[in-house]
Structure 1
Amino acid sequence: MKEPPLPLEEAQARLLALATPLPIEHVDVEGALGRYLAQPVGARRTQPAADLSAMDGYAMAGGDLAGPWHVIGESAAGHPYAGEVRPGTAARISTGAVMPAGASVVILQEDLAREGDRLTLTGEAPQPEDKHIRRCGLDFALGGEVLAAGTRIGPAQAALAISAGHSHLAVRRAPRVAVLDSGDELALDFESCAAHQVPASNGMMLAAMARALCCEVERIGPVPDQMDSLAAALERASEADVIVTSGGASVGDHDLVRPALLAWGAELDFWRVAIKPGKPILVATRGKQLIIGLPGNPVSSHVTAFLFLLPLLRALLGAADPLPRRIRTTLASPLRAGGSRREFLRANWDGTSVTAQAIQDSGAIAPLAASNVLIDRLAKAPAADPGDPVTAYLLENGGIA
């Protein structure tokens, strides 16, 4: 008896259970951009390393701030004042400059009047007195953890790692991904495509999605719907960590990916997930290799790659949470009642509400390209009206902020 399609969460959990993070390597911080930390990052220094001024003004001793004061020097960023500030004296200070010895307050330059070396208060002194001071260790302190293992390294995280004293970071080796698209209808000549053909766009699309996660990608195909051609293509991909196929995963007479994988020695983990688009997705293994078979319709291929391929790659890279994140928003336009499968509707979110595209056909790429979210519509969901709450996935950055 044929097993029913798996629910989405069960299928994702089974796939991720097959993923073991790849070996650790140490790369320079810039080379780690887009990767995930394999080990936590601790601070090798304190930042700020001393009390600093947060504003341009004058540093003086605390207590009686009525003035006047006598200016005795200057502390500039990178050039601290070597003397000591005593009551009745002040040092000119710039943003980011070290607080002079004896100084515990910074008064903004616009709150003071200066004639020669004499300062008088014309505005208000800060309350509390240290309002304009960045205390030593405000950002982080020596020995503290600044980034947890599993964190994705973006520009801000890279800057933090460098500021904490690191030139290299421990990350997982980049996955080797083979993208194999199959189908007799696929044409490589995008500019002169016969009526019985379609341009072979899926391979490029899937390769681009994998490369956005810093993977090393090899594209293979298009491969004809022939067992010997598929066998040769799979053999060419035998060194890949992940093989992702597009097309040929359904049940038609020319859908040969599943039998070709079984003949190649792969073991099927599951086949078919109760979602639309993308029901005929398959997951298999061959030794340490992980294989994902995606549908050939471009929208189905994109949606299933978003929900399965990208989480798998993030898990291999050591992400703390490899699944895409969902947001709660509201509808800007009505939705009809849902069908028998959980559906992922291509839609546009304006930051406040979401509008589903009018065309939801799994072969229609233009609505997908015009979308920035997928509405997660549960099976047999009732009709919904504008203002009703919905759940959606942000498509940008693969659903990961």
Structure 2
Amino acid sequence: MSALLDLEEAQTMLLALAPLLPSEPVAADTALGRILAEDLRAARTQPAADLSAMDGYALAPGEGPWLLVGESRAGAPYRELLAENQCVRISTGAVIPPGADRVLLQEDAVNEAGLILATELPPPGRHIRARGFDFHAGDLLLTKGTRITPARLALALAAGHGTLTVTRPVRVAVMDSGDELAADPADCLPHQLPASNAAMIAAMLAPLGCEITRMGPVPDDRAALAAALAKAEGADILITSGGASVGDHDLIKPALTDWGAQIAFWKIAIKPGKPLLVATRPGASGTQVILGLPGNPVSSFVTAFLFALPLVRAAQGDPEPLPKVEMAYAGEDLPAVGPRREFLRAVFHDGAPQLAGSQDSSALSALAAADCLIDRPAHAPPLAAGSPVPVFKLQNG
């Protein structure tokens, strides 16, 4: 395929290849970050009874004063039917006793030897959390494809679910390759570079709850690459970094072919990240997807953000796997763009993105400083400061 693919076309093609993973039941309190594999409906009503929203007195109808006949506290309700002009002391979260129709705030009450007077009488229903005001048994609470966050975990537990059915974790193998890479960053000769891409990509994937296996760095050698690829037999997704370009020592493409992979597409019309490669291969548990990222660290990061993370989300069952674009106003003049769409590393200053530093695809200091990517279309003319620009906030990745 000689023509470079547009970003959205390549993303669509890639997501269509996402592996279909089975589901599994897990204890709810271990499901944080996982994706629901089925709709979640409430197994109970919340609250299951009328509850007090404040500390004070639950009053039966009447003009007062109210005779104090007992107490209802959280976990220990008062069960007797209140008669007219009777009340009970009540705490926040306690069950409203039968016969009471409102709660008098503690600060609006005067206790005179067991007779309760109201300095400000609330209307009927005030300060009561009615049964089922949050949800009722059978209500749809979370839909299939929803990621479990701390608040959603609390909702699932409150709805009576100690077990959740979620998608099995995606098994991802991450490998970096290149003769120039040193495994130990503290023992790196002048002609070498510390291997950092696989660690960076694994760290990007970690919040998604993947099962990650790191391999390498692997030298530019067909036999060494074959031995490394054999270790990825059980992976749903293999992500490689380096060796995907067109140089004499870029051996990922032929090594993948030797391994039985079929190239789906290669080269994207973006900068950085042009030599992105996508392939598929029959694996131990279904079709494996192979994502070959460029070796330059910034290119590797940007393509992981735009392709690897969405691929994993799609495999998990996330219905909206792509990163979200937002609009901002450029904090400085931006240069013209060449024939490929560019993603500029930038930092928000007072809400306006400015370039983080060098835009060279090897400049890790600028990448480390960046908190967003400015999306600039191909062949765009110079852009004046204050003009609207689309941005991807990196925490969205």
TM-score (norm 2): 0.94
1:300 is matched with which residue? 299
2:121 is matched with which residue? 125
From 265, 277, 280, give the equivalent of 1:282: 277
Q: Does 1:23 align with 2:22?
A: yes
Q: Does 1:71 align with 2:68?
A: yes
1:229 is matched with which residue? 224
What is the CA–CA distance in structure 1 between the aligned matches of 2:313 and 2:226, rounded to whole Å? 28
Q: Does the 8 Å contact 1:268/1:283 carry over to 2?
A: yes
Q: Does the 8 Å contact 2:182/2:192 carry over to 1?
A: yes
Q: For residue 351 of structure 1, report the CA deviation from its aligned partner.
A: 7.7
From 247, 255, 269, give the equivalent of 2:264: 269
The code of the aligned residue for 1:70 comes to: L
The code of the aligned residue for 1:205 comes to: M
Q: Does 1:61 align with 2:56?
A: no
Q: Which piece of structure 1 moves more, 372-381 or 180-189?
A: 372-381
Pair 358,116 (structure 1): closer, same or farther in 2 beyond 3 Å:
same
Q: For residue 20 of structure 1, report the CA deviation from its aligned partner.
A: 3.4
Q: For residue 181 of structure 1, report the CA deviation from its aligned partner.
A: 0.6
Pair 84,207 (structure 1): closer, same or farther in 2 beyond 3 Å:
same
What is the CA–CA distance in structure 1 between the aligned matches of 2:29 and 2:326, rounded to whole Å? 30
Pair 281,54 (structure 1): closer, same or farther in 2 beyond 3 Å:
same
Q: Does 1:108 align with 2:109?
A: no
Pair 104,355 (structure 1): closer, same or farther in 2 beyond 3 Å:
farther
What is the CA–CA distance in structure 1 between the aligned matches of 2:243 and 2:19, rounded to whole Å? 27
1:209 is matched with which residue? 204
2:332 is matched with which residue? 333
What is the CA–CA distance in structure 2 between the aligned matches of 1:72 and 1:207, rounded to whole Å? 63
The code of the aligned residue for 1:8 comes to: L
Q: Does the 8 Å contact 1:60/1:86 carry over to 2?
A: no
Unaligned residue ranges in structure 1 (runs of 5+): none
- What pairs up with 1:111-190 in 2 under 5 angstroms? 111-122=108-119, 124-126=120-122, 129-190=124-185
What is the CA–CA distance in structure 1 between the aligned matches of 2:155 and 2:252, rounded to whole Å? 46
What is the CA–CA distance in structure 2 between the aligned matches of 1:349 and 1:125, rounded to whole Å? 52
The code of the aligned residue for 2:189 comes to: A
Q: RMSD between aligned alpha carbons? A: 1.8
Number of equivalences? 393
What is the CA–CA distance in structure 2 between the aligned matches of 1:371 and 1:69, rounded to whole Å? 65
Q: For residue 355 of structure 1, report the CA deviation from its aligned partner.
A: 2.6
Q: Which piece of structure 1 moves more, 43-52 or 317-326?
A: 317-326
From 90, 96, 99, give the equivalent of 1:99: 96
What is the CA–CA distance in structure 1 between the aligned matches of 2:127 and 2:65, rounded to whole Å? 20
Unaligned residue ranges in structure 2 (runs of 5+): none
Pair 328,130 (structure 1): closer, same or farther in 2 beyond 3 Å:
farther
2:250 is matched with which residue? 255
Alignment partner of 2:208: what SS? coil
Q: Does 1:345 align with 2:344?
A: yes
Q: For residue 274 of structure 1, report the CA deviation from its aligned partner.
A: 1.0
